[in-house]
Amino acid sequence: MTQLGASLIDVLNEQLRCAQAMLETLGRENHALVAGDATLLSSAGADKARLVDALETLEAERRGLSEQLEQSVALRARDESTWHALLDVVAACKEQNQRNGALVKARSEQVRLALQTLRGSEPGFYDPNGLKPSARSARPLGTA
């Protein structure tokens, strides 16, 4: 195996390690979102940013090595197994990130509805006459 081939495999293995760390970080982020733990959420966000930077750097390095390398059949087979493992972990990261995004959206909607109710502008309530209250009946926070 050539030095370039060995370097490419090393980069792929490092990408796989970073992608696995990203999946673990997304799991921590999900736990923090569910628990409402702002400190853990901040830490997971910082780790996520660091791992994204590392993955982008490694991808640029992998592309550069791939362009320089004429791959042999044996190297390609070793490359492909690591590549497929990397693609599987990246797909799992994408799914977890989408679940976390949906959770953030749901929490945001809960807060929006709570604020709307506190402000007295909840459109679902009716007055004793069966009419929706007018905007004039909404009381600002602190006067309730």
Domains of the chain: 3-121 (1.20.58)
Cα 88 to Cα 66: distance, rounded to the nearest angstrom: 20
Task: Name the DSSP class of 132.
Answer: P
Per-residue pLDDT of the chain (144 residues; tens, 9 = 90+): 678 778 888 999 999 999 999 999 999 999 999 999 999 999 999 999 999 999 999 999 988 888 777 555 455 656 677 878 888 999 999 999 999 999 999 988 988 888 888 887 555 566 667 666 655 555 555 555
Handedness of CA 69, 71, 77, 78 (dihedral sign): negative
Handedness of CA 39, 40, 44, 45 (dihedral sign): negative
Which of 25, 56, 17 minimizes the C-alpha distance to 43? 25
pTM score, whole prediction: 0.63
